[in-house]
Amino acid sequence: MLRIEVVQERAENYDTLGQAFSQPADVFLNQQLQAEFRTSDREKFIVLHLNTKNRLISYEVVSVGSLNTSIVHPREVFKAALLSNAASIILAHNHPSDDPNPSQDDRQLTKRLQEAGRLLGIEVLDHLIFASKHFYSFTADTLIKGVDPDE
């Protein structure tokens, strides 16, 4: 018989842990996410795990794909969220083309993950697509331009 035990381990301690997110720009300006995406020449899909006060508990790089796609499955998105006792999550990925407009696949994935989250009791608060100085927010349903993370 196989026995499984869940153990919480913190491999790295980032200054942004505990940061509260109240609007999409807060996510886009997060230093750790900027560092993850700025150096990536491929699509990277990251999930932020939040507590009941929308404070960052942890985050996970769920997938690193190719230049224009990454494979993301609900099981992988919610596994660490469940283990971290997240009340909600925020999804984020980059478009190396520097065009943050969502593709049809991005829209379908977001809808699928929102449905999975409802079943699991973990709300998907937003899904952001990052570019260098602008981003798309699915919750705001708009492209937000002119945000400079270096200022």
Q: Indicate whether 16 belongs to any domain.
A: no
> Into how many domains does the chain fold?
1
Where b means 16+ CB within 10 Å and e means fewer, 121-147 reads ebebbbbbbbbebbbbbbeeeeebeee
Question: Which amino acid belongs to residue 130?
Answer: F
Report pLDDT for 99: 94
For residue 79, give the CATH number of its domain. 3.40.140.10
Q: Indicate whether 14 belongs to any domain.
A: no
Average pLDDT on 26-48 reads 92
3-state secondary structure (DSSP) of residue 27 = helix
Q: Indicate whether 3 belongs to any domain.
A: no
Q: Model-level pTM?
A: 0.88
Q: Which domain holds residue 65?
A: 24-144
Q: Indicate whether 105 belongs to any domain.
A: yes
Question: Which amino acid belongs to residue 86?
Answer: A
Q: Indicate whether 15 belongs to any domain.
A: no
Q: Indicate whether 12 belongs to any domain.
A: no
Q: Read off the pLDDT of residues 53-82 as tens digits, 9 standing for 90 and up.
A: 999 999 999 999 876 677 899 999 999 999
Q: Indicate whether 13 belongs to any domain.
A: no
Q: Read off the pLDDT of residues 100-150 as tens digits, 9 standing for 90 and up.
A: 999 999 999 999 999 999 999 999 999 999 998 899 999 999 988 877 777
